[in-house]
Amino acid sequence: MSRATTLEQVAERAGVSRQTVSNALNAPEKLRPETLERVRQVIDELGYRPDTRARGLRTRSSGLLGYCVAQRQDGSVNVFMDRFLRALTTEVERTGRHLLLFTAPEGEAGLSVYDDLLARSAVDGFVLSDTRPGDPRHAWLRDKGVPFASFGRVWSDEPQPGPWVDVDGASGTAQAVEHLVAQGHTSIGFLGLPEGNPVGDDRAAGWRRACAEHGIEAGERMLARSADEHRDRGEAAGRLLDSEPRPTALVAANDAIALGAYEALEARGVRPGLDVALTGFDDSPTAAVVRPGLTSLHQPIDRIAERVVRLLDRPEGEPGELLRPELIVRASSSSGNDDGGQS
């Protein structure tokens, strides 16, 4: 069996010091982007992994971080969160650790699962996601002194306990409106998530704000909420498309709802991108292959994962960080619809 690659070998190959390699693993914010990229490339090339066994003996750590996989009652798959889990796994493994996946009930009932993992010394900390209003996990972990970081906010007027990273959904839908206004649209509807969904409400707020800035109507008549985003199949879009006057553009709270709108448009003989412009949110893999290509907001998944792990290890500083999504323009919203897409 060949010997494992050492930290010193990585440093020599990358032409940096041993401390620089250590910083790349444990404090990447200390390095210049080009240096960090060079060191990470060498780490991947040599297959270097920190010796977690030695570190565990010194610190009594397990080398594992806990991550609760959300249980969806309808059996659906959240493609975006699946992509986030992959990115998080990669980022955690860069630090020589691994993720321990588990499931737990929502709310207070799920805290016993977290407590059991801690009692067994199974994990050194937690990465939280699928946050909800009043989510009890953050304050519970903070009060126990357990390291954690959250992808997502608890949507409360009170300061959120503990470090978090989230995507600025309101700025994303505002970008979509600005893009549509630049295309000449003055009647822009919104396809929203079920009422009370904090992510959906945040994205709706961005649509309202941007429309108001341009003097565009953004009242309830222009908003249709999906009762069930995974089984909507275009009902929400249909309600707006059948209204008079019909909106010339639609902003959807996510790609699943936007793709349902394609069906509603087709059923009415309306061409997306030509007769009615349409945008989504999440930049799912389907957005690039559906025809016409779906304009959508891309969330920086790799950057989210990197920030979450950094905050878990180094929680000092700003407790929260909002990342801005990027609008990927394709033919569903461009005036020159060529049945393809562009980014």
Backbone angles phi, psi at 129, to 5 degrees: -150, -175
* Per-residue pLDDT reduced to its tens digit, 51-75: 554 444 344 578 899 999 987 766 5
Q: Give the DSSP H or E segment for 35.
A: helix 33-46
Would you say residue 295 has pLDDT above 80? yes
Place of tokens 């409360």: 156
**Cβ-proximal residues to 137 (8 Å cutoff; 6+ apart), any chain:** 110, 111, 114, 126, 128, 148
- In this prediction, residue 222 carries a pLDDT of 96
- The mean pLDDT value for 270-291 works out to 95
- In this prediction, residue 213 carries a pLDDT of 98
Would you say residue 33 has pLDDT above 50? yes
Quote the CA–CA distance of 89 and 124 in Å, as a whole number: 15
Given pLDDT bands bounded at 50, 70 and 90, which one contains residue 155?
confident
- The mean pLDDT value for 272-284 works out to 96
Q: Give the DSSP H or E segment for 206.
A: helix 198-213
Residue 34 or 318, more confident: 34
Extract long-range pairs of 212-215: CB within 8 Å, 24+ residues apart.
214/177, 214/181, 214/186
- In this prediction, residue 32 carries a pLDDT of 85
Would you say residue 297 has pLDDT above 90? yes
- In this prediction, residue 20 carries a pLDDT of 86
Whether the CB-CB separation of 322 and 275 falls below 8 Å is answered with no
Instruction: Look at residues 234, 181, 183 and name the one whose alpha carbon lies nearest to residue 209.
Output: 181
| Amino acid present at 71 | Q
**Edge-to-edge strand ranges of the sheet holding 249-252:** 223-225, 188-192, 249-252, 277-281, 295-298, 326-328
* Per-residue pLDDT reduced to its tens digit, 204-249: 999 999 999 999 999 999 999 987 665 666 889 999 999 999 999 9
Would you say residue 49 has pLDDT above 80? no
Ranges 30-39, 212-221, 278-287: which has the least confidence: 30-39
CATH numbers and ranges of domains, the chain: 7-50 (1.10.260.40), 64-167+301-323 (3.40.50.2300), 169-300 (3.40.50.2300)
